Structure 1
Amino acid sequence: MALVKLGQDPDSPEGKSPTVYLDEETGNYVLQGWKVLDSERLSQMDIPDHETVIEFPQRMMQFFPEVKGVGSTDA
């Protein structure tokens, strides 16, 4: 699997997270962000056991090609 880093939160302490990646094989995005541990928010979602929830700031949307106006990233 080849992951391509599309962008990292410039306001993140130490520049380590959140990060947006593109999986070149599947065309899917892989997101690194903050774990959502707040039980009140989690209780409002139906999360299957094989999934998890992360949070990342709205300012990170700029790194998605579709938002940049670059178009789709069909794999």
Structure 2
Amino acid sequence: MALRFVGVDPNTPNTGSPTVWVDDADGSLVIQGWKMDEAGMADVAATGPKWETIPDHETVLRLPARMVPILKDAIGDS
């Protein structure tokens, strides 16, 4: 894996999260974000495909809307 840092939430108080990287080997995004709380996960389950559950090896992250430019930058660079 050859990660390239793209950006961090400009309003984060400790410059550590949320953060976006691109894996230059395959172009995939690597994202650090806030864990969803139980209410948020219930909303995900209620609004997602009924046949799909979140596997134990996956998670759902929350990113602030202000990070959209960082995500666009990451996608444009891949």
TM-score calculated relative to the size of structure 2: 0.75
CA RMSD across the alignment: 1.8
Aligned residues: 69
Percent identity, please.
43
Of 21, 42, 62, which residue of structure 2 is paired with 1:55? 62
Q: Following TM superposition, where does structure 1 have runs of at least 4 consecutive aligned residues deviating by more than 6 angstroms?
A: none
Flag structure 2 segments of 5+ consecutive residues without an equivalent: 46-52
More helix by share: 2
The answer for the alignment partner of 1:26 in structure 2 is: 26
- The one-letter code sitting in structure 1 at the alignment partner of 2:19 is T
* Structure 1 pair 34–41 and aligned structure 2 pair: CA distance change class (3 A): same
Bigger relative contact order (CA 8 A; separation at least 6): 2
TM-score calculated relative to the size of structure 1: 0.78
Flag structure 1 segments of 5+ consecutive residues without an equivalent: none
